[in-house]
């Protein structure tokens, strides 16, 4: 029986920022889909439920845990968006050079954090 080639195992691959940003893209997308959808549906239901329901929603969302959820969702959104733009550039055939790919892999989550800070700074300064 002939020996078939084996797929490379994880121990063979050298961990890099492009792998981390790819995993982060999936995690933030799942978080937005699950948590974001839950918050959106709760918000819509609270608006439809009347003043008491909406007061409960705003009380929870303005509590420390609510702020963590909202900041986390905005961070997930901006990080996912930056990673999505990186993937879009890769899909059109650009950015595959090693240095360029590594630079954008590192910049995508950093820009997500900076955009989250800027977003909440605009909200707080108004």
Answer with the residue of higher pLDDT: 121 or 126.
Answer: 121
80 known member of a binding site: yes
Q: How far apart are CA 38 and CA 63, in angstroms?
A: 17
Closest to 71 measured CA to CA, from 21, 112, 125, 109: 112
Has residue 11 been placed in a domain?
A: no
Q: What's the CATH code of the domain at 22?
A: 1.20.1300.10
Residue-level pLDDT at 2: 66
Has residue 10 been placed in a domain?
A: no
Has residue 7 been placed in a domain?
A: no
**Count of domains forming the chain:** 1
pLDDT in tens, 62-79: 999 999 999 999 999 999
Has residue 5 been placed in a domain?
A: no
74 contacts 123 by C-beta, under 8 angstroms: no
The residue segments making up the domain with residue 58 are 18-125
| Cα–Cα separations (whole angstroms), residue 9 to 4, 5, 12, 22, 85 | 15, 12, 6, 18, 29
Question: Whole-prediction pTM value?
Answer: 0.86
90 contacts 103 by C-beta, under 8 angstroms: no
Closest to 89 measured CA to CA, from 78, 77, 103, 75: 103
Query: Residue 26 pLDDT more than 80?
Result: yes
5-9, 17-21, 112-116: which has the minimum mean pLDDT?
5-9
pLDDT in tens, 40-51: 999 999 999 999
């Amino acid at each position: 029986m002939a020996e078939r080639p084996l797929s490379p195992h994880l121990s063979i691959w050298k961990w890099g920022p492009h792998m981390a940003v790819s995993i982060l893209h999936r995690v933030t997308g799942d978080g937005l889909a699950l948590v974001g959808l839950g918050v959106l549906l709760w918000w819509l239901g609270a608006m439809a439920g009347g003043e008491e329901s909406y007061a409960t929603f705003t009380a929870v969302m303005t509590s420390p845990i609510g702020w963590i959820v909202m900041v986390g969702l905005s961070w997930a959104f901006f990080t996912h968006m930056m990673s999505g733009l990186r993937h879009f550039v890769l899909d059109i055939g650009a950015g595959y050079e090693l240095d360029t790919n590594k630079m954008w892999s590192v910049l995508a989550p950093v820009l997500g954090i900076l955009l989250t800070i800027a977003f909440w700074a605009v909200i707080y300064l108004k």
